[in-house]
A and B are shown apart, each in its own frame.
Chain A
Amino acid sequence: MTPDLRVNLGRLQLRNPVMVAAGTFGYGLEYRDLIDLAQLGAIVTKSLTLTPRMGNPPPRVVETPAGMLNAIGLQNDGVEAFLRETLSRLRELGTPVIASVAGETLEEYVGVAVQLSRAEGVAAIELNLSCPNQARGGLEFGTDPDLTMQAVAAVRRATHLPLIAKLSPQVSDIVPIACAAVQAGADILCLTNTILGVAVDAHTRQFRLASKSGGLSGPAIKPIAQYHLWRVRQALPETPLIGVGGISSADDAIEFILLGAHAVQIGTANYVQPTLALEVGQGIEAYLRANGFDSVDAIRGVVY
């Protein structure tokens, strides 16, 4: 018997639970000669802003133990260029395209979401809540329940598309923030984004990133992401969850599902192993088969 890999995240239905995470897969097409994009559960684009963004000065990245820090600064061509040049080509793949939306103001989030909602072929919007809020001195939207609620509510009013709120792990208690996002109209929660860190060069006595601090990703953050996902699962058992953070094997992905994730995203590991997302999908299927489960649903949330 072939296990059923399909998953339903409310209105967002995927043929398998393995997606690629925002910012780690470009606009998708960059990988088309390296993996069969049509086999992915979904592609999440790099975060889109209202106008093109140049990004931060280099060095923007540094490797750390079992991970890396990045301070790319949301370099992207802007939502208009994405709609004009990329979306139609992505749509031909038949793989759901989830557009990641970034913004430094509520207006920017809404502006990007409105344009994406008018386009044909966007399966869902993922709200990147780890953006610094200009009006609040750079405080990340996702670190505060009120800001989270405002951002999600504003985008909710602007789009009919399934809305994913991608939360920051940079908080002492994620549950109130998760609840705020759902109350404000998020259909799905994605847990979690990168966590802030710094790296110093002892020999030059300088920060290794030009922006000093950056977001930590990679295997190092897996336990943190799993902790937050597990807690949110207890508080919001009805809300579909996407697990992301340090997944670098099928077992890592299965752990997130056991803790309550409906789907997972592969992030940093795409850089070093472009075929990993497909291998994780095959690994989940092999795991279900070997253990006598008939679907992904059958193992979701059994560890609590």
Chain B
Amino acid sequence: MTRYELPAMVVEHQRRGANLYELILHAPPIAQSATPGQFVMLRPMRTHAPLWRRPYSILRANPDKGVFSVLYSVQSAFTELLSLKPIGSMIQTLGPLGSYFQPVRSARRHILVAGGVGAPPLCFFAARLVPTLQAGEQMVILEGARRDDLLVGLDEFRALGAEIRIATDDGSRGYKGFVTDLLAEALNEPIESAVYACGPNRMLQVVARLCAAGGVPCQVSLDAPMPCGIGVCLGCAVKVKTPDGGIWYRRACVEGPVFWAEEVVWE
């Protein structure tokens, strides 16, 4: 998999919610090779405070226009620097990085489970999946957040004509409770399914358990602190089962962020 280290040009900061922005970047090599589930490392600053770059899942990519985008909210010194980058300026970018969601072609129904800010890679995945669906194959989105205004990517999912089921912790929209309750319900329906999930690791652990119990293939995109994104610092370790029955740490930035749920050792 080829990755590129290059300055990407800021095309637009598009307001997408109360404190949520879509950053559109022009970087043709990345836009053309990005696969849903992959991410980029962004470095909007030249100084070393803050020190780390940050990983952002790709929300969408348009190979023809050479642009891709990520979602961010302003909540730290880093994201403030990101938000202040003017249109036409450059952001040093490394990507596309990591593993990606693989459509399970034997499934009749693809269930995408998004928790809060975990939605972007699933938006990208849904956009690439829908045109490939065969007759009798369907896609359903289960999305959860703490509150109505924290639901991310609904416009994207709606534009694809997808069936969307929503859960909020406070009941301000849709089902009152966890998105994993919606998943448990969906998995009871008699149709061969595959699950693709991104969200807080606690949520993913429940998703993995439900899928394991139902024998449903499941891929999860995991979050981990990530200093390098290159595969060298071993900071983003994820504990996995190895094929020989052992246990080892794999890198969320290279072997991940998307893992088969059954590989992951949940703690």
Contact = CB atoms under 8 A, between A and B. Distances in A.
A60 B237 contact: yes
B50 A63 contact: yes
Interface stretch (B55-63, B150-158, B221-229): B221-229
A54 B248 contact: yes
A294 B48 CA distance: 31
Interface residues of B, number: 30
Contacts of B94: 274
A117 B180 CA distance: 56
A62 B48 CA distance: 15
Given A272-B43, A274-B5, A61 B233 contact: yes
- Greatest chain A CB density within 10 A among B5, B227, B239, B249 is at B227
B49 interface: yes
A26, A46, A63 — which one has the most chain B CB atoms within 10 A of its CB?
A63
A57 B235 contact: no
B233 A33 contact: no
A61 B235 contact: yes
B184 interface: no
Interface string A269-301: 111111100000000000000000000000000
Contacts of A197: none
A248 B48 contact: yes
Nearest to A271: B228
Contact of A70 (B233, B239, B267): B233
Interface of A (DSSP majority class)? loop
A72 B50 CA distance: 21
Interface string B43-79: 1000011111100000000000000000000000000
B230 A34 contact: yes
A143 interface: no
A58 B51 contact: no
A218 B48 CA distance: 8
Given A61-B225, A66-B51, A54 B233 contact: no
Contacts, number: 99
Nearest to A71: B235
Interface in A138-185: none
A65 interface: yes
B234 A271 contact: no
A64 B267 CA distance: 25
B146 interface: no
Range for the number of chain A residues in contact with chain B: 35 or more
Given A55-B249, A58-B237, A274 B230 contact: yes
B88 to A, nearest CB: 23
Interface in B219-267: 224-225, 227-239, 247-249, 267
A70 B231 contact: no
A70 B235 contact: yes
Chief secondary structure at chain B's binding surface: loop
Contact of B225 (A62, A66, A268, A274): A62
B3 interface: yes
**Most chain A Cβ neighbours within 10 Å, of B43, B50, B230, B236:** B230
Contacts of A269: 48
Contact of B235 (A31, A60, A66): A60
A63 B248 CA distance: 24
B49 A58 contact: no
Contact of A60 (B3, B5, B50, B234): B234
Contacts of A61: 225, 227, 233, 235-236
Interface in A202-251: 218-219, 248
B6 to A, nearest CB: 11
B227 A31 contact: no
Contacts of A33: 2-3
A226 B193 CA distance: 59
B238 A272 contact: no
Contact of A26 (B225, B231, B236): B231
Given A25-B232, A60-B234, A60-B237, A271 B248 contact: no
Contacts of B239: 57-58
A65 B49 contact: yes
Nearest to B227: A271
Contact of B232 (A60, A219, A270): A270
A46 B224 CA distance: 21
A94 interface: no
Contacts of B238: 58
Contacts of A273: 43
Q: Which 10 A-B pairs have the closest CB atoms?
A: A61-B235, A271-B228, A26-B232, A66-B49, A271-B227, A248-B48, A58-B237, A219-B48, A72-B234, A30-B232
Given A30-B230, A46-B232, 7 more contacts: A23-B233, A24-B232, A59-B224, A61-B227, A61-B235, A72-B233, A274-B230
Interface of B: 2-3, 5, 43, 48-53, 94, 224-225, 227-239, 247-249, 267
16 contacts: A26-B230, A30-B231, A30-B232, A34-B5, A54-B248, A58-B239, A60-B234, A65-B49, A70-B235, A72-B234, A75-B234, A75-B237, A75-B249, A218-B51, A268-B227, A270-B232
